[in-house]
Structure 1
Amino acid sequence: MTRNTKDILRSCCQQIRWEALDLKPIKELIALAIDEDTLCSGLINKPKVTGDLSSCLVPEDHEITATFHARQPLTLCGIELAQLTAAFSPQLSLTALADDGANLAAGDPIATLSGSTRSALTAERTLLNFLQHLSGIATNTRTYVDALGGSRTRILDTRKTTPGYRYLEKYAVACGGGWNHRMGLFDRVMLKDNHLAAFGDDLLGATAKAVAQSRRTNPRVLVEMEVDRLEQIFAALKAGVDIILLDNFSVSDLRKAKELIGDQTVTEISGNVTLDTLQDLTPLGFDFISTGALVHKSVWVDIGLDWNE
């Protein structure tokens, strides 16, 4: 592996930490979720009476302490978000009993919520929605990471995320031990068939022109090329792309691709990546395996809020 290839490996992915996230859009997302529940914010014709019509029956001065518990084995994500309790209600406080990324057993405590009973009941479903959704992604990602075993291959997420949740869901992938790349359209050039078609019909010439244009325009930005046929690999290598993404290749063709590429550039497998196919892909020794399934095939985990006696 060349020194340049090692540098690309180090720079082309990351594991997002909570401290790197912009809290402003996250708080706006929380506010939107609360408004959906209490103000019917998503509809033009709103009811004459809004608010939490159930919780308002509880005496205004009544207070509770309650604990979130894992109801199944899971990898936790969302506790940092839940600690933004002021975004849910200034009358609530939350004490974390576990950290994001922690592997929990059924029954393990996650956090204690205390304060106004009215506010707790109003915020409960929204808090659980975030915790269950993000922990579902982290838990699903952890199964993929575990399936890789001791392989040097890293599992990557994709841009297939829920609109508005991009960075929270990528953070959840990182909590599950996965790696983040392609944060958006701004951090990497990704050349696909439709991009190259705009540079002409000749694959070699089109690829060379596109890569050269990228080097002139944004010389510090990595260039990745998606290929779905073995014959495209030569064009990618000749043009000097930084990363080759092998899309929907059979295992036998992946072996051939590995021989053609060697250590000339960074490699990524994508397409039809599941827990079942991972056992065949991992031994091939590619640098990365990417899959949107970490997010869009995840299932919400079971977390409950139990009142303390």
Structure 2
Amino acid sequence: MQNTPYLTPEAISEFIRTALREDVGDGDHSSLAAIPADARNRARLLVKDEGILAGVELARHIFRAVDADLQVETLLADGDSIKHGDVVLTVEGCAQSILTAERLVLNCMQRMSGIATHTTHLRHLLAGTKARLLDTRKTTPNFRLCEKWAVLIGGGVNHRYGLFDMIILKDNHVDYAGGITEAIAATKAYLARTGRQLPIEVETRNLTEVQQALDAGGIDRIMLDNMPPTQLREAVELIAGRVETEASGGITEHTIAAVGATGVDYISVGALTHSTKSLDLSLKAF
């Protein structure tokens, strides 16, 4: 798995605290009202779909955050293939705690498993090419950690996590700056002035802009945006390995294999996180 500086214990704990505060507020009054405080029960997480499992490790963190005394036994792991009828895990302990954790566990795991499944599917379509599949910043606000984690579980690669860890000069940056050359020059000056060391990627819309980015130099990757495969091949040949290449823009399962065959290093697909169907999972008492 690639380096994941965003997947720290502190970040995971903060996500869970925020999510529980949203869902539980001043108390899970349904469970507090109906279930005796000393009642102990158990439940199992059932699969009602098929695909790639994701969010198991996160579920363990959630159960632990709700009640450190809950006993969780995992029977399947992140990245496993799953089918209808599989049991992912069992949890045993305070019944009120199980019910309080239930919805957050399911919301995260269903969404993450859908993303991991979609990622795996697209990655398999790239078999035989060198292209690696990237996610984007087109994520659900306050859920990016989980969505990018799911892409990793599905075998994809995380692009930058946010605006702070990489510079990408996109079309609006270029247009506002006055052109490719001006945008890159201003970026180099900014990095020198602030003492930052950040990778630089430049989005290009045609071969003229590709050449301008190459002439400016000092960049790490060129994004080839909304280019058809024939133009992508020309761009890859023009770049000739001097910097990394990334194809982007409206790439689907119907076009991704042709894009990968052009020789690009990376293919970014926003739909991995913004247009994925969740897998059907449920937590049932037994």
User: Is the TM-score greater than 0.5?
Assistant: yes
Aligned to 2:254: 276
Change (3 A) 1:32 1:210: closer
Aligned pairs for 1:258-297 within 5 A: 258-297=236-275
Aligned pairs for 1:20-99 within 5 A: 21-39=7-25, 51-54=28-31, 56-84=33-61, 85-99=63-77
Aligned pairs for 1:95-106 within 5 A: 95-106=73-84
Aligned to 2:103: 125
In the alignment, residue 76 of structure 2 is paired with which amino acid?
A: A
Aligned pairs for 1:1-309 within 5 A: 15-16=2-3, 21-39=7-25, 51-54=28-31, 56-84=33-61, 85-199=63-177, 201=178, 203=179, 205-207=181-183, 209-210=185-186, 212-213=188-189, 216-217=192-193, 218=195, 220-240=197-217, 241-308=219-286
The answer to whether the Cα contact below 8 Å between 2:233 and 2:263 also exists between their aligned partners in 1 is no
1:172 positional shift: 0.8
TM norm structure 2: 0.89
Could you tell me how far apart the structure 2 residues matched to 1:87 and 1:205 are? 50
Could you give the per-residue CA deviations for residues 10-57 of structure 1, whole angstroms, max 9, x where no partner exists?
xxxx7355x9622334333323333333337xxxxxxxxx63225532
Could you give the per-residue CA deviations for residues 44-82 of structure 1, whole angstroms, max 9, x where no partner exists?
xxxxxx632255322332212221122121211111111
Aligned to 1:5: none
The answer to whether the Cα contact below 8 Å between 1:197 and 1:206 also exists between their aligned partners in 2 is no
1:144 positional shift: 1.0
1:195 positional shift: 2.7
Change (3 A) 1:238 1:214: farther
1:125 positional shift: 1.5
Q: How many residues align?
A: 283
The answer to whether the Cα contact below 8 Å between 2:28 and 2:100 also exists between their aligned partners in 1 is no
TM norm structure 1: 0.83
Could you give the per-residue CA deviations for residues 248-300 of structure 1, whole angstroms, max 9, x where no partner exists?
11222222222322222210000011111112212111100001111111111
1:214 positional shift: 5.1
Structure 1: which 5+ residue stretches go unaligned? 1-13, 41-49
RMSD, matched Cα: 2.3
Could you tell me how far apart the structure 2 residues matched to 1:127 and 1:55 are? 19
Change (3 A) 1:301 1:204: closer
Could you give the per-residue CA deviations for residues 173-228 of structure 1, whole angstroms, max 9, x where no partner exists?
000000012122222221223333454x4x46415523542563457422110011
Could you tell me how far apart the structure 2 residues matched to 1:100 and 1:66 are? 19
1:91 positional shift: 4.3
